[in-house]
Amino acid sequence: MTATYRQPGVVLTDHHFTVPLDHDTPEGETIELYAREVVAGDKARQDLPWLVYLQGGPGFGANRFVGRPAWLGRALKEFRVLLLDQRGTGHSTPANRQTLPLRGGPAEQADYLTHFRSDSIVRDCETIRPQLTGGAPWTVLGQSFGGFCAVNYLSTAPEGLSAAVITGGLPSLDAHADDVYRAAYPRIERKVAAHYARYPQDVERARRIADHLLNHEVVLPNGYRLTVEAFQSLGILLGGGEGSHRLHFLLEEAFVRTPQGPALSDAFQEEVQGLLSFAGHPLYALVHEAIYGQDDRPTAWSAERVRAEFPQFDAAKTLTGDGPLLFTGESIHPWMFETDPALRPLRETAELLAARTDWKPLYDSARLAANAVPVAAAVYHDDMYVDTTHSLQTARAIRGLRTWVTDEFEHDGVRAGGPRVLDRLLALTRDEV
């Protein structure tokens, strides 16, 4: 079933596809994928090459654009764009606390979720590509985790690509999750220090909120238990271009006076629950560490274990002195499956995924070393989400890949930079710069 409609300057078409849950068993169970085609209104009838956009995450549906914002306007100058809701996200067959019990118990749910990594997403793309392009290869734009998918694409199905553009998403080819987080915590600490240098008044504000949470039980309106660790995880904002400012504005309105004394304001609680809840993207929490699984070692709640190696992130210890509270970043912890009502029913499923030891390899180093697809990647200097050193090591391992290393943007540069980031990377794939 397809439906075509218009927004200012663009023509949109809804697409629905049926794909195997397990591509190794094509005759078995199937799931549904949704994707939105976007084409410039004045080019709607033209035979244009395709660009498929792979959203960051894991666990997020594609952007719901209105008109031609961010990078989309640049892409529409020459491409017909496909905004794919990766399996389990958006309007594709959902995977969440409401639907996963249809699979059975936690063991069955965990087995099901092993099919929601980059390798399955790439095979989905290769299943639907001939239906849209008539068999012609297309360009892939991979943001963050979408870049992980793009590198898997280059490893497993490069014949499907005319070019690959990656923004903030060159993964390590062989690092265990522990290596990823050992590199991450020092970067996070640097981002927090930069935030406090910009907004020194936030040092005392953050300490006051943390002290309040250590001494009071706070349950947000949606049932989320706001612990001090959950509050610290708001540091994920610091990886975006406007994140430091957003965090500052949030902290400055944290408290109000009440007849019972100071309390966290309704406005603060409302915004915090929107930032912390996984109700809209539970797959992010469920398979986040699994995207690094490639061998017989379990991920075993890597971010939580590695955090213990960095005692400066312990809020209780921090508050015994006068140092600044450290926020954390893009990491998933077992306590999230206790504090968040959207995740609580999935705690045992998450435990089984964390203990799994049969992950398939995601990248083929030999094939990448012989790559013939034009590839360009934006590597953001000191990116909080994806380690720059790991990214540059991978860039050197992919034949012909051209990098643009910049400190002009944070991790969300492809959005914040408007058309400039995509324009430059496309030019790099064409040897125009």
* Residues that are catalytic: 144, 358, 411
For residue 314, which phi and psi values (nearest 5 degrees)?
Answer: -80, 110
DSSP for 129-197? HHHHHTT--EEEEEETHHHHHHHHHHHH-GGGEEEEEEES----SS--HHHHHHHHHHHHHHHHHHHHH
The span from the CA of 431 to the CA of 433, in Å, is 6
The span from the CA of 38 to the CA of 78, in Å, is 12
Tokens of 18: 């049926």
Eight-state DSSP code of residue 303: H
The span from the CA of 70 to the CA of 417, in Å, is 7
For residue 176, which phi and psi values (nearest 5 degrees)?
Answer: -75, 160
Tell me the residue type at 223.
G
* Neighbour-count burial of 372, counting CB atoms closer than 10 A to its CB (0-12 exposed, 13-18 middle, 19+ buried): exposed
